[in-house]
Structure 1
Amino acid sequence: MRSLVKSAATVLLATSASFAMAADPMSLMLNWTPTADHSPIYYAKSKGWYSDAGIDLKIEAGRGSGVAAQRVGSGGADVGIADLPTAMQAKGKGADLKAVMVIYANSPQGFYWLKSSGINGPKDFAGRKIGNPPGDASRLMWPAFAKKIGLAPTAVTFVNISPPAKVAALKSKSVDIISDFYNEHDLKVREFGADLGFVAWRSIGVNVYGNAFVVNGAYLAANTERIRKFVAVTQRAYAECVKDFSPCLQALTADVSGLSPDNQRDQWERIKQLMRDDATTKVALGSFDNARVKADYDLVKDLIGIDKPFEPAAMFTNEFLDQKLRMTAN
Structure 2
Amino acid sequence: MKKILKTWIAGAALLGMSGTASWAAEANLILNWTPGADHAPIYYAIEQGWYADAGLDLTANSGKGSGLAAQTVGTGASEFGIAELGTAFVAKSKGADLTAIMVLYANSPLTLYWKKSSGMKEPKDFAGHTLGNPPGDAARVLWPAFEKAVGLEPGSVSFVNLAPPAKNPSLAADRVDIISEFYNGHDAKVAAFGDDLAHLRWSEYGINPYGNSFIVNTTYMKENPEAVATFVSVTQRAYSACVEDPKPCVEALMTAASGLDEKAMYDQWTRVKDLMADKTTTTEGLGFFDGERIQNTYDLIETYFGMEKPFDPAESYTNEYLDGSLKMTAQ
- TM-score, reference length from structure 1: 0.84
Instruction: Extract unaligned runs of 5+ from structure 2.
Output: 1-18
Cα 1:313–1:165 change in 2 (3 A) is: same
Q: Which moved more, 1:198-207 or 1:187-196?
A: 187-196
Cα 1:243–1:206 change in 2 (3 A) is: same
Q: Which moved more, 1:69-78 or 1:311-320?
A: 69-78
Kindly state the Cα deviation for residue 318 of structure 1 after the two structures are TM-superposed: 0.3
Please name the residue that 2:196 is paired with: 195
Cα 1:128–1:220 change in 2 (3 A) is: same
| 2:127–2:156 contact (8 Å) kept in structure 1 | no
Alignment of 1:123-202 (within 5 A): 123=124, 124=126, 128-132=130-134, 136-149=137-150, 150-152=152-154, 156-162=158-164, 164-202=165-203
Please name the residue that 2:247 is paired with: 246
Residue 31 (1) aligns with residue 32 (2)? yes
Kindly state the Cα deviation for residue 33 of structure 1 after the two structures are TM-superposed: 1.6
Kindly state the Cα deviation for residue 181 of structure 1 after the two structures are TM-superposed: 1.6
| 1:26–1:56 contact (8 Å) kept in structure 2 | yes
Please name the residue that 1:216 is paired with: 217
Kindly state the Cα deviation for residue 277 of structure 1 after the two structures are TM-superposed: 1.5
Alignment of 1:1-330 (within 5 A): 24-117=25-118, 119-123=120-124, 124=126, 128-132=130-134, 136-149=137-150, 150-152=152-154, 156-162=158-164, 164-330=165-331
In the alignment, the residues of structure 1 paired with residue 133 and residue 264 of structure 2 have an alpha-carbon distance, to the nearest angstrom, of 22
Q: Which moved more, 1:186-195 or 1:311-320?
A: 186-195
- SS in structure 2 opposite 1:59? strand
| 2:133–2:140 contact (8 Å) kept in structure 1 | no
Q: Which amino acid aligns with 1:63?
A: K
| 1:108–1:183 contact (8 Å) kept in structure 2 | yes
Q: Which moved more, 1:307-316 or 1:293-302?
A: 293-302
Q: Select the structure of larger CA radius of gyration.
A: 1
In the alignment, the residues of structure 2 paired with residue 220 and residue 154 of structure 1 have an alpha-carbon distance, to the nearest angstrom, of 46
Please name the residue that 2:14 is paired with: none
Cα 1:103–1:295 change in 2 (3 A) is: same
Kindly state the Cα deviation for residue 290 of structure 1 after the two structures are TM-superposed: 0.8
- Cα deviation digits, residues 17-63 of structure 1 (max 9, x gap): x99xx753312111122111110001001101122222222222222
In the alignment, the residues of structure 1 paired with residue 72 and residue 139 of structure 2 have an alpha-carbon distance, to the nearest angstrom, of 18
In the alignment, the residues of structure 1 paired with residue 78 and residue 139 of structure 2 have an alpha-carbon distance, to the nearest angstrom, of 22
In the alignment, the residues of structure 2 paired with residue 74 and residue 39 of structure 1 have an alpha-carbon distance, to the nearest angstrom, of 26
- Cα deviation digits, residues 52-88 of structure 1 (max 9, x gap): 2222222222222222222222323221111112222
In the alignment, the residues of structure 2 paired with residue 328 and residue 215 of structure 1 have an alpha-carbon distance, to the nearest angstrom, of 26
In the alignment, the residues of structure 2 paired with residue 135 and residue 53 of structure 1 have an alpha-carbon distance, to the nearest angstrom, of 40
- SS in structure 1 opposite 2:95? coil
| 1:147–1:153 contact (8 Å) kept in structure 2 | no
Kindly state the Cα deviation for residue 274 of structure 1 after the two structures are TM-superposed: 1.5
| 2:131–2:180 contact (8 Å) kept in structure 1 | no
- TM-score, reference length from structure 2: 0.84
| 2:132–2:167 contact (8 Å) kept in structure 1 | no
Please name the residue that 1:10 is paired with: none
Cα 1:135–1:325 change in 2 (3 A) is: farther
Q: Which amino acid aligns with 2:64?
A: R
Please name the residue that 1:15 is paired with: none
| 1:114–1:197 contact (8 Å) kept in structure 2 | yes
RMSD of equivalent CA atoms: 2.5
- Cα deviation digits, residues 104-157 of structure 1 (max 9, x gap): 11111112123445655445265624224x665434544433443445479543
Q: Which moved more, 1:314-323 or 1:135-144?
A: 135-144
Cα 1:48–1:143 change in 2 (3 A) is: farther
Query: What is the identity percentage for the equivalent residue pairs of Structure 1 and Structure 2?
Result: 50
In the alignment, the residues of structure 2 paired with residue 104 and residue 290 of structure 1 have an alpha-carbon distance, to the nearest angstrom, of 15
In the alignment, the residues of structure 2 paired with residue 152 and residue 209 of structure 1 have an alpha-carbon distance, to the nearest angstrom, of 25
In the alignment, the residues of structure 1 paired with residue 142 and residue 94 of structure 2 have an alpha-carbon distance, to the nearest angstrom, of 15
| 2:30–2:69 contact (8 Å) kept in structure 1 | yes
